[in-house]
Amino acid sequence: MLFPEEVKLFKKTDVRPCLAVGKSLTHSSFKILTYQLKLNVCPHLEGNSCTMYLERPNACRGYPFARSENLEIASYWTDQGCTVIKEFEKRHGGIQNVVHCQSIEENMEGNKKLIREFQKIKNRKNKKTWVYDLRTEKWKRR
């Protein structure tokens, strides 16, 4: 998930919308809140290193934790392929034992603005949530 101000870090051809709110796709209230990469692998990843580490998007700062796409529920998932997560699970008997993690806290801080904006817009009359499907390259109402 990329914030609008983070889109400039990528080629325009590599980025698509992700989440929006509005009465309809053509209504003046329609607003894109987040974007997503069209690619499976980040173009700034070389080997196991990020080539833009200091400027990386909020989602990357929180890795291996990521916010779920449902902004109405504050929930996170973890990348089970991440070697750090695998090692943590081996040592502590599972990821569910995480009580506090700096990555989660940083990711939550970065997403507070998005969640507030989403709730503010969603609470207005006749607002719908829209998700952009990368497979069909079309918006779907959620």
pLDDT at 9: 96
- Domain locations along the chain: 4-134
Provide the token pair at 120: 């503010």
- State pTM to two decimals: 0.70
Percentages of the chain per state (helix, strand, coil), in multiples of 5: 35, 25, 40
46: enclosing H helix or E strand: strand 45-46
The residues that bridge with 57 in the sheet, in sequence order, are none
**Cα 86 from Cα 109, distance rounded (Å):** 25
Residues 5-29: tens digit of each pLDDT: 999 999 999 999 998 988 889 988 8
Q: HSE of 10 in the Cβ direction (CA atoms, 13 Å)?
A: 25
pLDDT at 115: 65
**Cα 116 from Cα 61, distance rounded (Å):** 20
DSSP, res 28: T
Instruction: Extract the residue ranges of the chain whose pLDDT is less than 50.
Output: 99-100
pLDDT at 132: 92
